[in-house]
Amino acid sequence: MDKRENDEQNEVEVHLFAEEDFNDGRPVEETPQGEITVDFGEAAESMLDDIKSDSLYGISAAAAADADDFDPGDMSSDAVVNVDDVVAARSKGDRLTESADLDELSESISITEQETVEYVEDDVEFSAEQASRSRRRLRNLLIFFIIILLVLIAVIGLFIWRNSTPPGVKQPDSDVLQTSTAGTNAAQFQAIDAARIPDLVTYFGMTPEAAAEASDNSIALDAEATVASDATLPNVVKTRNGWLVGPNGETLASITFGLNAAGDIDYIFASFDLDAFGVADAKFDELIASKVVASSILAGIGIDPAAVESAQLTIVENPQAVLSRDTGAQEVAEFTGPTNIEGVPGTWKVTETYDHTAGVTVGDNSVIRTLSVDLR
């Protein structure tokens, strides 16, 4: 290779020779293959960039301070140092400074972790508040349903109270009739013992207190009379309620005395509890098809036996007696006749009733069976 300088362009001409010119010591012919022009300034800058990027070497602090005035031609071997030498030459103070910097970095990280913990605690408190709200909402719903239940209980209690007896008188022990089984066999009715029924016909013209005494105190009376309001009873101005009480304290019947202006009995209404008297379980049609129970009660209250014998007390004799067959409310049959007594009472009326109202309300299909007698 032959090198020639070009002073005008500050360039170097390089002549390349063929490889065979250097074999076996033979004479070499100068055969230039081409010319390459090289800019040393550009080459030096490229070498400097390579040196800077090399991880094993660096520029000394003095050279770095003058980096702005750096000239590739001024670079010397003293400006290039080994990185290992730089590390070895570092003072203990520098390493302590770096250690302090690391501690500051650790404290910064610790602060970040504390803030993260605070955020987590805020989330936990929010979740607890949400759970508390849910519990309060559930408690309010439970209170609402309890109030509804108490209202229903109050309504049922009011209904029972309106059909109950006053304090001091034992509630009648009424048997429950199940309509699905009552009267599946032909009922065998027994006459009610007349000794258990007061002679109500003889109480006309007495005061209520005298009537109660005449019944051997089997009749209990209300404390006071109330004003009458029945237009069909023009002579009755007040009424006095009472109850027929059995030997064991059970209520056998409710009784109402109608009083005239003098305070004497001019009207009597008695409603007998058939279950309290032990009347056989039967369907309504079976009861009104038999006159045994009705005739024994008429006889017990003092109606003339001949009048009882001639009375039409069955639907066979009096089909028009049935007033209602509503098994969702009441089944009712009504029979009337004369007393054969001069004066009062002149007539009697027997009403046999199967009341399904309570059974429908409670849902147990129970029936309250009564036979009432109206004397006027």
d(C-alpha 101, C-alpha 95), whole Å: 10
What per-residue confidence (pLDDT) applies to 260?
A: 96
Same domain, 78 and 117: no
Counting as low any pLDDT under 50, the low residues of the chain are 1-17, 19, 21-23, 28-35, 55-68, 70, 77, 79-81, 83-84, 86-89, 91-93, 95-96, 98, 102, 105-106, 109-113, 117, 165-185
User: Which of 69, 89, 109 is the last residue before a domain boundary?
Assistant: 89
- Of 89, 121, 140, the last residue of a domain is 89
Say whether both 262 and 330 belong to one domain.
yes
**Domain assignment of residue 183, yes or no:** no
Q: Within this chain, do residues 249 and 318 fall inside the same structural domain, yes or no? A: yes
**Pair (336, 201) in one structural domain:** yes
Indicate if 230 and 149 belong to the same structural domain.
Answer: no
Q: Is residue 254 part of a domain?
A: yes
**Total number of domains in the chain:** 3
Q: How many helices (H) and strands (E) does the chain have?
A: 9, 14
Q: Say if residue 233 is in the same domain as residue 370.
A: yes
**pTM for this one?**
0.53
Residue 170 domain-assigned (yes or no) = no
**pLDDT (0 to 100) of residue 14:** 46
pLDDT at 214: 95
Same domain, 144 and 251: no
* Nearest in space to 196 (alpha carbons), one of 269, 299, 267: 299
Together in a domain, 206 and 322: yes
89, 121, 153 - which closes a domain? 89
The answer on 353 and 239 residing in a single domain is yes
State which residues form the domain around 110.
100-162
Helix-strand-coil percent breakdown of the chain, rounded to 5? 40, 20, 35
Q: Is 116 part of any domain?
A: yes
Quick one: 347 and 286 in the same domain? yes
Query: How do residues 21-45 score in pLDDT, each as one tens digit?
Result: 444 555 544 444 444 555 667 767 7
**Is residue 175 a part of any domain in this protein?**
no
